[in-house]
Amino acid sequence: MKNIERRQFMGSVISLFGAASLGFSGITRSSIKQIKSEQSGRKIRLRGVQDSKVTHWDIITIGNLSRNRYWGESDERAIRSAICTCSVISGEDFHVIVDPSLEDEKAMGTELYRRTGLTPDKINAVFITHQHGDHIAGLKHFMKARWVAGSEVASALNKSATLPKKIESAEESLFGTIDVIPTPGHTPDHQSLRFDFKGMSVVIAGDSVATKDFWDERRAYYNVQDPEESKRSMEKIDSIADIIVPGHDNYFFNLK
Ligand SMILES: [Zn+2]
């Protein structure tokens, strides 16, 4: 590794995040500029736009898989119970929770409050990427909200008559600012969400991306219904996302 001072190294890190507009408000514009000029000159092309109604987005639970080949585990059997990554997208007049992950009502409310300061009754809409049980485990804790999913997911869940409320078919956008994008493969009617936030394009990918390791190899998880289709969906996400929120991992950057 090149021998650089800690001050310079920290500067590089801050510069990357500063360039990505993630809100290091304490750093002055001039110091960012100076630090940037010390770098290699590599430019990052962001795909989002500054103009967006989204004011916040937060991860509520970081998911995990029931078995993970990248941890040396076999696909044959579950090693642990799975939790999906659950997030909240907020604007001036809306809060959307995506894939409510926790079966236990108190735990769901606690995690939501701990990460956003919101109580479940403040959530306007729940978006479900697909019908797998771990992605709807906490749905029933948001009775005041609209429940929204892809049309096939909605009709399958509505027909199953296991839920206390109807799920609406998603239109092309939520609250006029969050794009609903088909990402089939994991399931045929899997939908992801895309929105702009401070110049970055964020995709909440649900299980169309299992974890960062699966993404890096464009690999389908063992239960994916159509691996080829899944790969095409990942390529589609690659072409539009600066930040990816996978179904069972923390969010990560996809910068070019
Ligand atoms: Zn799934």
Gap from CA of 59 to ligand 1 centroid (Å)? 18
Gap from CA of 147 to ligand 1 centroid (Å)? 18
- Token pair of 235 as six digits: 């390529």
Residues with CB under 5 A from ligand 1 (ion): 132, 207
pLDDT at 218: 96
- Token pair of 220 as six digits: 């389908």
Look up the pTM and report it.
0.85
Gap from CA of 190 to ligand 1 centroid (Å)? 9
Gap from CA of 132 to ligand 1 centroid (Å)? 5
Average pLDDT estimate for 214-240: 96
Give per-residue pLDDT as tens, 28-61.
444 444 445 456 777 888 999 999 999 999 999 9
Gap from CA of 248 to ligand 1 centroid (Å)? 9
What's the CA angle centered on 25, arms 123 and 242, to 5 degrees?
60
pLDDT at 18: 45
- Token pair of 242 as six digits: 């600066």
How crowded is the C-beta side of 212, counted as CA atoms within 13 Å? 8
Give per-residue pLDDT as tens, 86-97.
999 999 999 999
Cβ–Cβ under 8 Å, residues 125 and 87: no
What does residue 55 show for φ and ψ, rounded to 5 degrees?
-105, -20
- Token pair of 56 as six digits: 């916040």
All structural domains of the chain, each given as residue ranges with its CATH number in brackets, are: 6-37 (no CATH), 54-253 (3.60.15.10)
Gap from CA of 232 to ligand 1 centroid (Å)? 17
A 10 A CB-CB count for 218 gives 15
